[in-house]
Structure 1
């Protein structure tokens, strides 16, 4: 009763703020498959609004809160995800966002809420904004610009007042990388509460990773008069450029020389991988483009570092430390664009260090999904009487094994994360504070067990056996279904994302998929078994039963 009274005092905004990308002139997206259901986005939004306004959903609203609907995201089987933000006493609330899931007809299925209590916090700071800016500037080695601090409420218990500041610049040293660092400074005592970087790094055309000079691989390019350019006409937004952002173009449609140091070849590899990820997302995951609105993102090659990164707007690719190959194999390209998918699902990419690890794992998962969708061969052929190894990036659950980024083979292992740099196979209290690429191991291991199980016994084809943390035997659901479950989990993501909330959301995601005929209760059990097998404990409020 108290909850309903508080909610009645909050305003529900019914204006949608949906980001839509406009295709470039003369381009057209591949035709969408005809579904067996009719999606009613307006009814989904209206049903979610009524649920929130009724007080039936436990979204923990206080009298000073305002709830604002931000958009509706489409999922598999006609599932719709209505995302909400909130303000408190006129200030943005980080961690107060939530998602309401409906079926195609707009019938509410579930909610995803992380905030645990109504907010009750003073919005008057004791610390001057200028002091917060100074603290934030000191968190980056070479700052070039500091934004004006914005007062924000963190949804921790009854709330915490902070300044959020964005610091642009770079790290120090010969291999300095760009940075766009978000820093949250306590508005009362000046301590740094959280920080995260928008820039996420990786540690008939001639491609290097898709057949080499002996087996040219086709990429889609755009014609304008007598000039061709590396812009995909069928997948809006996808293009490839040099470091200054100039898209590669030429008088013909032949690109590169299949060499590991040629930039046109690097772009051909990147375009091939991006197109595969775009098509996989549509065909396997029923996502509308990489960004959820029918589009993708630009890419650049030629970064003079043994690295690749996503900067919030485009993916940038360097080369290996030996300077013999560019960092554009399928899984590395799909990893960086996978950060874009994480950013463009509810809850965005900003947040805690633990969320950063889950973001890195998301990139690895999309890399694996794209490799398995493309399913290139593992071949050695006789060409002109000579045995020749053709360059491909066949599917597996290793990350970056083809580029050999720093001379030690793969940079991460999903079926046995501890095999590389002793990254964790199992969740523990130390994981949330770990370096994010190492922390990716736990969710990577979960995904492998969900897809292939613990006893796949097919190492020759990229599917070896995998140890479990509790000695259990786990049966997989297949890589395509595992990808669909993971995508629907991301569609329930909130701004405060942890391994526990990911586990809870994944179980709810399976139940939603069961409701629309895209999963079974067996999938529910196997999803839960995989989380338990990597030592992620049951989360408060997670579903415990499934009924078909």
Structure 2
């Protein structure tokens, strides 16, 4: 055991716009060799010119200002230029959009959710104090409330809605921490939307990566004779206690492989985070977890059968029996996957349906990281708490190794309905479901995309998976499925639903075809997988691919 020691956005002219939404009819994809040197400056310049020349395409009103947020590089040199907007000086939630270019900066397309320019009075009829009171009432024990801020809510249809946005910190009815965003209609005083920044799973000697007989080598930092659990090559990744103090000491030997040992929990957390970082780079061509070469800190020792992402770090507890910490690969990558969802265009705030897609995103990154590590399928226990050759092998189950509440996995991607109340297929009730249950639909889509309906390899984590329409699907492989999903997230906007995710994923595949990273068969499979989980086609989605 070791002692703890302390250790430019560019503004675009008002009223300007963006180009073409996803094509409503046929789309031709041409294959071109990717550039080895993507140019963010060229991408930004091309996108800015497009925005300045095509105001109608982004439904900009004369009172809008459009601001470029940044450029993210994806697979094959694809570049994503993200924009926000204000209206009459107020921030617009849901007014964001993304312009996609190739490596040379040639514009390929855009994603825009607004269907009309904003036309709304910015004079409230409800006092800010009233909005604050309504917002505080959404938590059982509020401890801190931000000043209500007037904001324009741009929904997928309509001309906008004036709301107050308030952030309430505290605990919810079951005692779990919460950082709740509440949007109160400034005309009626009723709650328009709310979402929680805290995302949970309710979902060297490691416990989950070899146990007591197989040392796990994690990257740590040495300075002046002191070692700390900070990754020197993956900036931002660290692990410490509940106060945020990073574990440190006089040697570089960590943990004892015990299921209740917190230093061991950090070994597992670091191993999972480092693998996810490397997977993002090697499989998805993403620059770290953040897209800018960094990761996030982690904490262990939470005294709950839970783990969560709070908007800036991941926090890990233990199972309900207290015998294991909640730090297997898929749980660690799930929580950090919420961070990826948060920093990709469109952020993580929004509707309940978006929350379900966010939970699914965490599950998908958990599965991707497990398959990237590809650990062996052996597990033996000594005295119930010390692991011998204990691993977290790849599969599409969530949290099965930690046994969080004594019932095995908390989600099942090939067959979500194996967990009570989790749907395999999309329906009108899914957008209103509890977010962990609602994750089932996109999880099922990802499994079908990666492995297909007839993988027939249950002993190696790839069971057969029934489709909702009785069709048979051949998967594209987990790595390619991950790349398609990552490029879909790079097209995400604030308003995010199952149908917009479907549309964006098809656009993402076509972009990958253009840079030689996918085929038209991948396009067909992506579309078939969405149809197989009953997510309907949306207006304006691509329908044709010719490579």
| TM-score normalised over the length of structure 2 | 0.92
Match of 2:168 in 1: 167
The answer on 1:272 being equivalent to 2:271 is yes
Q: Secondary structure at the match of 1:44?
A: helix
Separation in 2, partners of 1:515, 1:259: 50
- Superposed CA deviations along residues 346-397 of structure 1, whole A, max 9, x for unmatched, are 00000000000000000000000000000000136999xxxx9620000000
Match of 2:4 in 1: none
- By how many angstroms is 1:172 displaced? 3.8
Q: Secondary structure at the match of 1:543?
A: coil
8 Å Cα contact 1:282/1:289 also seen in 2: yes
8 Å Cα contact 1:379/1:389 also seen in 2: no
- By how many angstroms is 1:64 displaced? 1.0
Match of 1:357 in 2: 356
8 Å Cα contact 2:229/2:239 also seen in 1: yes
Which runs of no fewer than 5 residues in structure 1 stay unpaired? Answer: 1-6, 14-34
Separation in 2, partners of 1:483, 1:533: 18
Separation in 2, partners of 1:212, 1:261: 13
- 1:8–1:336 Cα change, 3 Å: closer
- Superposed CA deviations along residues 402-457 of structure 1, whole A, max 9, x for unmatched, are 00000000000000000012300000000000000000000000000000000000
**Larger displacement relative to structure 2 (143-152 or 399-408):** 143-152
8 Å Cα contact 1:227/1:252 also seen in 2: yes
- Superposed CA deviations along residues 221-274 of structure 1, whole A, max 9, x for unmatched, are 111111111111111000000011111111111111100000110000000000
Q: Secondary structure at the match of 1:92?
A: strand
Match of 1:20 in 2: none
- By how many angstroms is 1:8 displaced? 8.4
Separation in 2, partners of 1:370, 1:81: 24
- 1:57–1:37 Cα change, 3 Å: farther
Q: Secondary structure at the match of 1:111?
A: strand
The answer on 1:313 being equivalent to 2:279 is no
Separation in 1, partners of 2:134, 2:240: 36
Separation in 2, partners of 1:236, 1:302: 23
8 Å Cα contact 1:222/1:231 also seen in 2: yes
Separation in 2, partners of 1:465, 1:56: 48
Match of 2:465 in 1: 466
8 Å Cα contact 1:208/1:260 also seen in 2: yes
Pairwise CA RMSD of aligned residues?
A: 1.7
- Superposed CA deviations along residues 464-485 of structure 1, whole A, max 9, x for unmatched, are 0001000000110000000000
Match of 1:144 in 2: 143
- Superposed CA deviations along residues 465-519 of structure 1, whole A, max 9, x for unmatched, are 0010000001100000000000000000000100000000000000000011100
- By how many angstroms is 1:295 displaced? 0.4
Match of 1:406 in 2: 405
Match of 2:327 in 1: 328
Match of 1:111 in 2: 110
Match of 1:125 in 2: 124
- Superposed CA deviations along residues 33-75 of structure 1, whole A, max 9, x for unmatched, are xx85221111111111111111177211111111111111111
Match of 1:19 in 2: none
Q: Secondary structure at the match of 1:213?
A: coil
| TM-score normalised over the length of structure 1 | 0.92
Match of 1:235 in 2: 234
Match of 1:263 in 2: 262
Separation in 2, partners of 1:314, 1:57: 40
- Superposed CA deviations along residues 266-304 of structure 1, whole A, max 9, x for unmatched, are 000000000000000000000001011100000000000
Which runs of no fewer than 5 residues in structure 2 stay unpaired? Answer: 1-11, 19-33
- By how many angstroms is 1:177 displaced? 1.6
**4+ residue segments displaced more than 2 Å:** 379-383
Q: Secondary structure at the match of 2:449?
A: helix
- 1:57–1:80 Cα change, 3 Å: farther
Separation in 1, partners of 2:464, 2:417: 14
Task: Indicate the structure whose relative CO is greater, using CA pairs within 8 Å and at least 6 residues apart.
Answer: 2
Separation in 1, partners of 2:255, 2:283: 31
8 Å Cα contact 1:57/1:111 also seen in 2: no
- Matched residue pairs, number? 514
The answer on 1:179 being equivalent to 2:210 is no
**Larger displacement relative to structure 2 (374-383 or 119-128):** 374-383
8 Å Cα contact 2:35/2:104 also seen in 1: no
8 Å Cα contact 1:12/1:69 also seen in 2: no
